[in-house]
């Protein structure tokens, strides 16, 4: 064409960007052309080719009937305009006959060309000449140093024209060449599965379906993993029932159980695990028995009690040790430690996690090590070692991102956010929580979302946004009930009860706390049982039922002491100190506030430390020690508490001082308080309490 037009200049059109596609689409379709779904379809179908784009838009408008109806019509999965079809056929028809076979098998191998693979497949073809010819005909191109088909429609046309016999043969040849050229390459397992499935080789398809499923499990692609594992299982069911095949099927069922468990489908997961256990016991496969028990422990922790979950995990550890399977032992130890942590046995949990970490590092078990590190952080935090928890979580997050373990990454992000919440870094905490929720939703982990939402609600509550906090907890509770996880239900129900109390519904709050405590006791989750009792004491105190509240607070403190939870004792002591201050039992108030602040120091719990300072200031004003209270309150005016309620309380208390101290005294106190940092303020408060 250009040579027929004297003086004409040839201009090469580059591919259009997404913004340019939207602009061109809108110029033809109007505002409908800028709809994201329309632009995405055009980008996918045309890859920014200007001519293809115009033809596709025209065809799309013809199929819909009216341009204005496009956004209200289900867009087609593919659009193949007649004009584009003509261009594609013309280009391919110009490829010389000698180059056609190589072009066909290249199309089967993929959009991007692997030249080493093509040389192995077509040793008699001069690949350089072939590339030159196909490039000159605009069938192939180089994009960022990589040879590929100039447009996927060219490749699709070649594939569509293959006979079923040729399709099977070409896929078989490509798969064999990949296996020969890239043996044991995990990055090509999915490709090999696709080729062998297309080749109709069920033996190879079965093998690679299982491999793909296991790899997808490791990267938290659970729904896809289920599809591949089920396909492998279906193909095994066609085979003769030998012991070897039955054991292979049992292993597939365990992996299916793993995937279903991660999707919070615990009843389905249990069915798979128990089917595997029955087969392995019948055939005396000790490793399979232990592996099945680990899975049963996982689902029992959600569907039943933690004691029910601990027993199979302990049995699994014992079996793995008997058969000297240290990788299995490490995995079972992590499972056991997780249940011990949730049931409140922190020392045993820490001991088992330390053993698992030694084995995990020794045998380079990345995923097991990662889970152990993450759980160890939770134990350290519960024991009051905030710095240690942050160190472990930093390692866990880095390792999880490296190995692509998205589910465990989400757990680590959630745990790090909990630490940031305790230290008053709410913005950082919320960012981690929201990344965790986004990641959990991406991988289909309903349990992860249900566990994390109440933590986001906690931040909203601390900021004073109680309506949002309650709504978030209600969303979490609704989701938790769909998972069947009693742990998730307790995790949402008990915080919701406290928000209900803040909303003025104390009777309803007590009902919710009773329900939450019952479930926590049923599953053996002592931590949440203690939290429920602490919250009930708070509700009773605020409702004026002082004697009941005092008895319950003292009972809760003994409970936390037996459990060894500094976190639990911290809150109980501070809240009881507040009760005793309001009741004019100032000596008792001073003792409890002193102990509470000491625990806040040990835990590095900045939010609770500020709550303690507010409590001490209230106590000092009640004791008419205004000069001692003034610097503490001045400090909190200069460096406000993170919790909105504590900030508001500090402001109210400071206003009271204006009626008790002179302007000069207040000014001196403000200067003194502004010079303090939090550790100084805490030490000053402790000295003031000592003087009681």
- Rounded to an integer, the average pLDDT of 390-419 is 93
Confidence (pLDDT) at 69: 54
Residues 609 and 688 in one domain: yes
- Note whether residue 514 is domain-resident: no
Q: What is the pLDDT of residues 103-135, one digit of tens each?
A: 999 999 999 999 999 999 999 999 999 999 999
Contact 645, 684 (CB under 8 A): no
Residues 68 and 143 in one domain: no
Residue 479 lies in a domain: no
User: Is the predicted pLDDT of residue 16 greater than 80, yes or no?
Assistant: no
692 and 609 within one domain: yes
Is 145 a domain residue?
A: yes
* Same domain as 393, residue 372: yes
Residues 100 and 179 in one domain: yes
What distance lies between CA 653 and its chain's CA centroid?
42
> What span, in angstroms and rounded, lies between the C-alpha atoms of 279 and 290?
12
What is the domain-level CATH number for residue 125? 1.10.10
| Confidence (pLDDT) at 77 | 56
Nearest Cα to Cα of residue 495 among 467, 469, 519: 469
**How many other C-beta atoms lie within 10 A of the C-beta of residue 690?**
9
pTM listed for this prediction: 0.76
Q: pLDDT at position 551, please?
A: 98
Lowest-confidence range among 53-67, 144-158, 369-383?
53-67
**Mean pLDDT for all residues in the chain:** 90
Task: Please name every residue paired with 1 in a beta bridge, in sequence order, or none if there are none.
Answer: none
The reply to whether 42 and 105 lie within a common domain is: no
Residues 90 and 194 in one domain: yes
**Do the beta carbons of residue 570 and residue 643 sit within 8 Å?**
no
Mean pLDDT, rounded, for 150-155: 88
Answer for the pair 671, 662: CB distance below 8 angstroms, yes or no: no
Q: Are residues 51 and 117 in the same domain?
A: no
Q: Which two tokens stand for residue 375?
A: 């759980």
Same-domain check for residues 184 and 107: yes
For residue 4, pLDDT beyond 50: no
Q: Exposed e or buried b for every residue in 503-524, given b needs 16+ CB within 10 A?
A: eebbeebbebbebbbebbeebb
Q: How far is CA 557 from the centre of its chain?
A: 34
Rounded CA Rg of the chain: 33
Are both 662 and 601 inside the same structural domain?
Answer: yes
Domain boundary at 198, 215, 232, which?
198
Domain span holding position 47: 9-79
**Residue 13 binned pLDDT confidence (cut-offs 50, 70, 90):** low
58 and 112 in a single domain? The answer is no
- pLDDT, residue 415, reads 94
Greatest mean pLDDT among 73-82, 253-262, 302-311, 597-606 lies in: 253-262
Name beta bridge partners: 146.
143
| Distance from the first to the final alpha carbon of the chain | 101
Residue 416 · residue 432 · CB < 8 Å: yes
The count of structural domains within the chain is 4
Alpha-carbon distance 215 to 192, whole Å?
Answer: 14
Residue 12 pLDDT: 52
Segment 27-39, tens digit of pLDDT: 666 666 677 777 6
Confirm whether 441 is domain-assigned.
no
The answer to whether residue 492 is domain-embedded is no
Mean pLDDT of 531-548: 97
The pLDDT assigned to 23 comes to 74
Q: Give the pLDDT mean for 44-67.
A: 60
Looking at the domain assignment, is residue 630 inside a domain?
yes
Closest by alpha carbon to 622, among 689, 542, 548, 538? Answer: 689
Which pair of tokens denotes residue 277? 């256990």
Q: Which of 147, 175, 198 is the last residue of a domain?
A: 198
Percent of the chain residues past pLDDT 90, beyond the cut = 77
Condensed to tens digits (0 to 9), the pLDDT of residues 210-230 reads: 999 999 999 999 999 999 999
pLDDT in tens, 634-659: 999 999 998 999 999 999 999 999 99
CA distance linking residue 137 with residue 150, whole number of Å: 10
Q: How confident is the model at residue 206 (pLDDT cuts 50, 70, 90)?
A: very high
| 407 in any annotated domain | yes
SS3 content of the chain, % helix, strand, coil (to 5): 80, 0, 20
* Residues 222, 264: Cα–Cα separation, whole Å: 11
CB atoms within 10 A of CB 428: 15
In a domain, 641, yes or no: yes
Residues 41 and 96 both lie in one domain: no
Q: Which of 198, 227, 256 is the last residue of a domain?
A: 198
Nearest 5°: the CA angle 657, 663, 664 is 115
């Amino acid at each position: 064409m250009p040579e027929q037009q004297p003086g004409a200049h040839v201009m090469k059109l580059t591919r259009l960007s997404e913004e340019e596609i939207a602009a061109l689409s809108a110029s033809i379709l109007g505002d409908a052309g800028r709809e994201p779904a329309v632009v995405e379809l055009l980008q996918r179908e045309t890859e920014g080719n200007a001519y293809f784009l115009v033809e596709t838009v025209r065809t799309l408008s013809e199929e819909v009937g009216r341009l204005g109806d496009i956004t209200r019509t289900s867009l087609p999965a593919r659009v193949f305009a007649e004009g584009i079809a003509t261009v594609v056929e013309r280009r391919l028809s110009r490829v010389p006959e000698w180059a056609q076979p190589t072009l066909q098998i290249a199309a089967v191998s993929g959009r991007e060309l692997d030249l080493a693979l093509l040389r192995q497949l077509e040793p008699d073809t001069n690949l350089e000449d072939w590339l030159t010819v196909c490039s000159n005909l605009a069938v192939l191109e180089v994009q960022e140093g990589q040879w590929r088909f100039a447009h996927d429609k060219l490749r699709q046309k070649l594939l569509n024209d293959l006979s079923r016999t040729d399709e099977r043969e070409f896929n078989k040849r490509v798969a064999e060449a990949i296996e020969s050229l890239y043996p044991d390459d995990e990055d090509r397992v999915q490709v090999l599965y696709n080729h062998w499935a297309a080749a109709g080789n069920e033996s190879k398809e079965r093998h690679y379906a299982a491999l793909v499923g296991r790899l997808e499990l490791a990267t938290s692609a659970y729904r896809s993993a289920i599809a591949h594992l089920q396909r492998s299982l279906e193909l095994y069911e066609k085979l003769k029932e030998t012991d070897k095949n039955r054991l292979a099927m049992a292993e597939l069922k365990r992996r299916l159980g793993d995937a279903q468990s991660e999707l919070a489908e615990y009843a389905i997961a249990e069915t798979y695990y128990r089917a595997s256990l029955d087969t392995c016991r019948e055939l005396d496969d000790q490793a399979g028995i232990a592996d099945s028990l680990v899975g049963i422990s996982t689902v029992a922790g959600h569907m039943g009690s933690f004691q029910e979950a601990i027993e199979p995990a302990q049995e699994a550890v014992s079996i793995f040790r008997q058969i000297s399977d240290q990788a299995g032992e490490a995995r079972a130890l992590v499972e056991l430690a997780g249940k011990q942590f949730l049931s409140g046995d922190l020392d045993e949990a820490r001991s088992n996690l330390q053993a698992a970490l030694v084995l995990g590092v020794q045998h380079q078990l990345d995923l097991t090590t990662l889970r152990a590190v993450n759980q160890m952080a939770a134990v350290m935090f519960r024991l009051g070692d905030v710095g240690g928890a942050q160190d472990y979580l930093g390692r866990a997050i880095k390792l999880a991102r490296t190995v692509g373990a998205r589910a465990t990454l989400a757990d680590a992000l959630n745990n790090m956010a909990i630490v940031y919440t305790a230290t008053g870094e709410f913005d950082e905490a919320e960012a981690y929580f929201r990344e965790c929720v986004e990641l959990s939703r991406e991988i289909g982990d309903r349990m992860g979302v249900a566990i994390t939402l109440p933590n986001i609600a906690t931040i909203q509550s601390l900021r004073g946004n109680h309506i949002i906090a309650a709504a978030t907890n209600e969303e979490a509770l609704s989701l938790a009930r769909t998972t069947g996880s009693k742990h998730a239900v307790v995790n949402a129900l008990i915080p919701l009860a406290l928000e209900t109390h803040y909303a003025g519904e104390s009777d309803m709050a007590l009902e919710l706390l009773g329900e939450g405590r019952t479930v926590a006791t049923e599953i053996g989750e002592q931590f949440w049982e203690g939290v429920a009792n602490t919250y009930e004491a708070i509700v009773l105190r605020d409702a004026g039922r002082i004697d009941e509240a005092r008895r319950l607070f003292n009972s809760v403190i003994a409970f936390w002491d037996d459990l060894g939870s500094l976190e639990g004792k911290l809150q109980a002591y501070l809240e009881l100190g507040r009760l005793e201050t309001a009741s004019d039992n100032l000596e008792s108030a001073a003792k409890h506030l002193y102990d509470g602040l000491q625990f806040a120091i040990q835990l590095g719990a900045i939010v609770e430390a500020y709550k303690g300072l507010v409590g001490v200031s209230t106590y000092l004003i009640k004791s008419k020690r205004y000069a001692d209270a003034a610097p503490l309150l001045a400090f909190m005016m200069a460096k406000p508490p993170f919790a909105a309620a504590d900030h508001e309380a500090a402001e109210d208390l400071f206003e009271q001082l204006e009626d008790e101290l002179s302007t000069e005294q207040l000014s001196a106190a403000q200067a003194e308080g502004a010079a303090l940092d939090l550790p100084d303020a805490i030490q000053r408060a402790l000295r003031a309490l000592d003087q009681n």
